[in-house]
Amino acid sequence: MQPDQSEDLTAALARARAPVPVHPRPAASPMLRLRTRPEAHRLIPPALTLALAERRGLANWRAQSEPYHAALAATQAIVAGTRRADEVDELTRRRLIEIEIHEALYWRPWPPPAIDEESRENLFSAIATGRGVMISCCHLGPFFLGATGICSLGVELYSTTGPWLLEPPAAGYWGRRVDRWIREIAARGEHLISTTGAFDVIRVLLEEGRLVKLFFDMPGGTRTSFLGKPVMLASGSARLAWMTGALVVPMHIHRSGHRGGLRFGTPIDSTAHDGHEPLHLALASIHESAILEDPPGLEDPNRPGGWEHRALPSGWLRPQDDSPPASA
């Protein structure tokens, strides 16, 4: 995320502050409509949902077909060079199960995750300062429940998203997934900021004292020692926090049965760091620790929109890069 002056800032801020538009539901076959209706999944006991998802995950483990090989590659890319590097087989098995469970939970109703008192205090103490607050999170656990938890606390939230989420969804399964997400966002009153030209929009919102959520685990141009290897990460979140003097609150979500649990870490004062680079490294260390608690819960870094098959055990390249990174 780099500064971008190509878009009129006033118009971009107005779009971010406006309610999220909801488009008509995309066309789908009767069977797909049933499969993608949360109201239908509500009728299935949660324990049965989890048991069936685990069975599907274990079937993929035993078959060792394409899902297995994709999960194995993701696991190797994540844990290589870390204290969990010797657990690849078991972590791959668990990843295949978590993939199926997260998919099943996605189509069930999204209850707010549990938030402990310490986490609440961490978030509200940061908000009470009147400074901008940046929520720094990763694609870890059932992360689609994260904003549900924040908004359930009665605070106004701005989140960044790829422009694809703001476009009318296409017909078929993927379009139904997008529609599901955007309707939840609109219902909870969350505001969205398109990542196209987002830098100055986020800067203004943080300077106004707003609460903004950004994903840390995104590809970019900053070579970072992360998860035991060199990873090309975006550093815009650290740059924006340091530039605006915002507080940064790390956030992680984990799964407990069919519910989520949300943790907010101790607020980090960006002004206590000598530049955005040390802040970026501090965030990398915090998120690395959370990921290593639950490697199977991290989304595949090789997914579209991520490192796109360039997340390797030796290092994670940006999608447009051709040569492997030097060793950390």
Q: What is the pTM of this model?
A: 0.92
Q: How far apart are CA 222 and CA 312, in angstroms?
A: 17
CA-to-CA dists, residue 317 to 4, 37, 130, 175, 209, angstroms: 23, 37, 38, 29, 34
Helix 88-106 vs helix 66-79: crossing angle, to nearest 10: 110
pLDDT at residue 7 above 70? Answer: no
Would you say residue 328 has pLDDT above 80? Answer: no
Between residues 236 and 319, the one the model is more confident about: 236
Q: Span 111-122, mean pLDDT?
A: 97
List all residues 6 or more positions away from 44 whose beta carbon is below 8 Å from its beta carbon.
Answer: 108
Share of the chain above pLDDT 90, in %: 93
Q: Which residues contact 17 (CB under 8 A, 6 or more apart)?
A: 191
With 90 as the cut, is the pLDDT of residue 151 above it? Answer: yes
Q: Which residues contact 103 (CB under 8 A, 6 or more apart)?
A: 53
Domains of the chain: 9-26+111-316 (3.40.1130)
Strands 219-226 and 191-194: unpaired
Q: What is the pLDDT of residue 196?
A: 86
Tell me what the mean pLDDT of segment 247-269 comes to.
96
End-to-end CA distance of the chain: 23
CA distance 190 to 302: 28
Distances (CA, A) of 255 to 39, 144, 258, 304: 21, 11, 7, 24
- Residue 36 has φ and ψ, to the nearest 5°, of -110, 25
Q: Are 77 and 312 in contact (CB under 8 A)?
A: yes
pLDDT of residue 321: 56
Q: Is the pLDDT of residue 327 over 90?
A: no
More confident residue, 7 or 152: 152
Asked whether residue 198 carries a pLDDT value surpassing 70, the answer given is yes
More confident residue, 247 or 327: 247
CB 132 within 8 A of CB 208: yes
Q: What is the pLDDT of residue 6?
A: 47
Region of poorest pLDDT, from 1-10, 70-79, 278-287: 1-10
